[in-house]
Homo-oligomer: A and B are copies of this chain.
Amino acid sequence: MKTLIVVSHPTLDQSQTQQFLKASAATIADATWHHLDASLPFDPAQEQALLRAADRIIFQFPLYWYAAPASLYQWLDEVWVRSAVYDAHGGLLTGKSLGLVVNLGQPARGYQLGGAEGVSLSELFSPFAALARKTGLRMLAPLVIDQFSYQDEAAHQKLLVAYQQYLTLAHPDKLSEQADWWLDQLADLGDQAALVGQTLATRQETLVHLQETINELKEGEED
């Protein structure tokens, strides 16, 4: 799967979060890091070629005043013109997926009714959901990073894994795909790790069998 990471950030070099994500993405051959603010003025044809080549499009940005920075909107306004998004047969982006990777300066728990921000991220991201719906993109649940610089090393490692999975898995939220991802990682580590990987793979098969048995039992109950 080819992933286009569309990064909107006016001061990328000063962002610890973005530098961390950039390093995390660098090991993934099929992921293209595309910093919008460094690509101005946009060449629409070139930008549209990037869009066409991607299977997954990621909008990656810090939340400024409850929205993305200006460059993302400028990119949408200038690049996502009608002819780039639809042809006579329908949506040109249909079948691709859209992900949001959003970092927050405030705690994520504030984004709810009665929270410090009083509004949910799902509400704030509704324009992106509407865009996905309109253009036939399958939208992924957002990957939200809050207060990166206050996180400890363990949290950063978890983020690295979650981000790499978000860039590469068809369904990043599915436990079975996450398990397969770990097996692939271990297989890459050589003989000793392969042994651990083999054990995990066997366990994973056992888990799948157990899950099937449970499902059969449940179906029996429903009859």
For the complex, would chain A's binding face be called helix, strand, loop or mixed by DSSP majority? helix
Q: Is A144 an interface residue (CB 8 A)?
A: no
Question: 10 more A-B contacts (CB under 8 A) besides A64-B73, A68-B73, A126-B126?
Answer: A64-B76, A64-B77, A65-B80, A66-B126, A67-B76, A67-B127, A70-B71, A70-B77, A118-B130, A127-B127
Q: How far is the CA of A77 from the CA of B65 in the complex (A)?
A: 8
Q: Is A209 an interface residue (CB 8 A)?
A: no
CB-CB < 8 A to A71: which residues of B? 70
Of B69, B117, B127, the contact of A77 (CB 8 Å cutoff):
B69
Q: How far is the CA of A77 from the CA of B9 in the complex (A)?
A: 11
Q: Is the CB of A127 within 8 A of B130?
A: no
By the criterion of a CB under 8 Å from any partner CB, how many residues of chain A are at the interface?
A: 27
Closest beta carbon of chain B to A121's beta carbon, Å: 10
Q: How far is the CA of A76 from the CA of B73 in the complex (A)?
A: 13
CB-CB < 8 A to A133: which residues of B? 118-119
Interface centre among A10, A123, A126 (most CB of B within 10 A): A126
Q: How far is the CA of A8 from the CA of B66 in the complex (A)?
A: 18
Q: Is the CB of A66 within 8 A of B130?
A: yes
Q: Is A109 an interface residue (CB 8 A)?
A: no
Query: 9 closest A-B pairs (Cβ-Cβ)?
Result: A70-B74, A66-B127, A70-B73, A123-B126, A66-B130, A119-B130, A67-B127, A70-B70, A65-B76
Q: How far is the CA of A198 from the CA of B64 in the complex (A)?
A: 51
Q: Is A203 an interface residue (CB 8 A)?
A: no
